[in-house]
C-alpha cells in the first residue's frame, strides 16, 4: 500500500511486473481514501482479500482444475463522436470477483473486460475490450474452448447508429439515433454445446419476473439477479444482495455480503451444476 503517485510511478510498476515474472503473487491495492487525505489507487486491499489470497497460496484448491471458465466484466463504451460515448455505471467489481473466486479453485480463467480501473486478479488471463461488438467478437471466438461462461458485464444494449468523425458542435436540440448491439449471452445460448451459462440481471423492478424472462430465452443454467434499488446492492458498491434462479426452478436468496463472498457462492453453485450434469451423462 502506498500513495497513488508512488504506486503509479513507472519504476514501481516495472518492479511489480518483474516480481510477477519471477513467480511472486501480488495482492493489488484498491482505490479509496489514502493516509495523506487524498483519494485514489494505492490503498491497502481489504484484509479478507489479503487473507483469502494468502490462504489459497498456502493450500491451493484444485476442485476446478482443468475447467476453463470465461467471465466478462465491466461496462462497454459506444462512441458518439471522437470525444463522447454512451456507457453505464458498472464498475466491473462483481465480474472481477467471480474471476478471483474461480482462480482460487484452480480453474483456468479468462476475463474479458470492458474499460474499468481494477487490477486483474493474479493468475487470470485478461482480454481488454471497449465496445459491445468487440466483446461479442472476443467472447464468441473463445466460447468453443470454454466449460463455463459467466456474463457479469453490463453490455450497452444500444449504440449510436453512426459514429461522427468530427466532434459534434452544439446547436439547439439534438436527436441521437441508436441501434441495437448484439445480445452476446443470447448468442451463446443458441450455440451452447456442454457449457454452463450464467447470466446477470440488474433490475429496478419486478426482479423475479425479469430474471426468469432472461433465464429461459437465453438458455442459461443460472441467473444472478440483483435489485438495484436495494441498499448495498448493484453497481459500484463493494457488497451485493442477490437472488439466484436456476433452470430447474430452484431459487436461492443470498444475504448482503461482499462481492467476493457472492462470487464464491456463485462458483460453488456452478460446481454443483457441473456435478449434476456429470451424474446425468
Distance CA 123, CA 100 (A): 9
Which of the stretches 2-10, 42-50, 104-112, 197-205 binds ligand C5P when contact is defined by CB under 6 A? 197-205
Shortest spacing between CB 239 and ligand C5P, in angstroms: 20
Which of the stretches 35-43, 47-55, 60-68, 179-187 binds ligand C5P when contact is defined by CB under 6 A? 179-187
Distance CA 97, CA 121 (A): 8
Q: Name which position in 43, 77, 93, 151 contacts ligand C5P (CB under 6 A).
A: 151
Could you say whether residue 81 binds ligand C5P (CB under 6 A)?
no
How many residues form the binding site for ligand C5P (CB under 6 A)?
13
173 or 209: CB nearest ligand C5P: 209
Distance CA 242, CA 101 (A): 17
5 or 229: CB nearest ligand C5P: 229
Q: Name which position in 73, 101, 146, 185 contacts ligand C5P (CB under 6 A).
A: 185
DSSP string for residues in 74-126: SB--EEEETTEEE-----SHHHHHHHHHHHHTT-EEEEEE-S--PPPPTT-EE
Contact residues for 8 (Cβ-Cβ < 8 A; gap 6+):
41, 42
Could you say whether residue 157 binds ligand C5P (CB under 6 A)?
yes
Q: Name which position in 159, 214, 259, 264 contacts ligand C5P (CB under 6 A).
A: 214
Q: Name which position in 111, 201, 262, 274 contacts ligand C5P (CB under 6 A).
A: 201
Shortest spacing between CB 226 and ligand C5P, in angstroms: 11
Could you say whether residue 270 binds ligand C5P (CB under 6 A)?
no
Q: Name which position in 129, 199, 215, 269 contacts ligand C5P (CB under 6 A).
A: 199
Distance CA 20, CA 28 (A): 12
Contact residues for 140 (Cβ-Cβ < 8 A; gap 6+):
184, 187, 188
Contact residues for 180 (Cβ-Cβ < 8 A; gap 6+):
157, 158
And the C-alpha cell for 259? Answer: 462481492
Query: 52, 73, 69, 66: which is closest to 270 by C-alpha?
Result: 69
Shortest spacing between CB 191 and ligand C5P, in angstroms: 13
181 or 237: CB nearest ligand C5P: 181
Known catalytic residue at 36: yes
Contact residues for 230 (Cβ-Cβ < 8 A; gap 6+):
241
x-or-dash string of contact with ligand C5P, 110-149, rule CB under 6 A: ----------------------x-----------------
Q: Which of 19, 36, 50, 163 is catalytic?
A: 36
Could you say whether residue 184 binds ligand C5P (CB under 6 A)?
yes
Q: Are 238 and 32 in contact (CB under 8 A)?
A: no
Distance CA 49, CA 182 (A): 35
Residues with catalytic function: 36
Residues of this chain that bind ligand C5P (CB under 6 A) = 132, 151, 153, 155, 157, 181, 183-185, 199-201, 214
Amino acid at each position: 500500500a502506498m500513495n497513488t503517485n508512488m504506486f503509479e510511478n513507472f519504476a514501481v510498476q516495472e518492479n511489480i511486473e518483474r516480481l510477477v515474472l519471477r513467480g511472486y503473487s501480488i495482492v493489488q491495492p484498491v482505490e479509496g481514501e489514502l493516509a495523506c487525505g487524498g483519494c485514489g489507487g494505492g490503498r491497502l486491499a481489504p484484509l479478507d482479500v489479503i487473507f483469502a489470497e494468502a490462504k489459497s497460496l498456502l493450500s491451493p484448491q484444485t476442485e476446478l482444475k482443468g475447467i476453463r471458465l470465461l467471465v466478462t466484466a465491466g461496462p462497454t463504451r459506444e462512441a458518439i463522436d471522437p470525444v463522447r460515448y454512451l456507457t453505464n455505471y458498472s464498475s466491473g467489481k462483481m465480474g472481477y470477483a467471480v474471476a478471483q473466486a474461480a482462480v482460487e479453485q484452480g480453474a483456468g480463467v479468462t476475463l474479458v473486460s470492458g474499460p474499468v480501473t481494477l487490477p486483474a486478479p493474479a493468475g487470470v488471463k485478461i482480454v481488454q475490450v471497449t465496445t459491445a461488438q468487440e466483446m461479442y467478437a472476443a467472447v464468441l471466438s473463445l466460447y468453443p474452448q470454454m466449460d463455463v461462461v459467466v456474463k457479469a458485464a453490463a453490455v450497452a444494449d444500444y449504440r449510436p447508429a453512426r459514429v461522427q468523425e468530427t466532434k459534434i458542435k452544439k446547436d439547439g436540440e439534438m436527436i441521437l439515433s441508436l441501434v441495437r448491439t448484439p445480445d452476446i449471452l443470447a448468442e451463446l445460448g443458441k450455440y451452447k454445446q456442454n457449457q454452463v451459462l450464467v447470466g446477470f440481471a440488474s433490475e429496478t423492478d419486478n426482479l423475479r419476473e425479469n430474471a426468469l424472462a432472461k433465464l429461459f430465452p437465453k438458455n442459461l443454467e443460472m441467473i444472478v439477479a440483483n435489485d438495484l434499488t436495494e441498499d448495498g446492492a448493484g453497481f459500484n458498491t463493494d457488497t451485493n444482495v442477490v437472488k439466484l434462479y436456476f433452470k430447474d426452478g430452484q431459487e436461492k436468496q443470498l444475504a448482503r455480503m461482499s462481492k467476493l463472498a457472492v462470487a464464491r457462492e456463485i462458483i460453488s453453485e456452478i460446481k454443483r451444476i457441473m456435478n449434476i450434469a456429470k451424474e446425468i451423462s
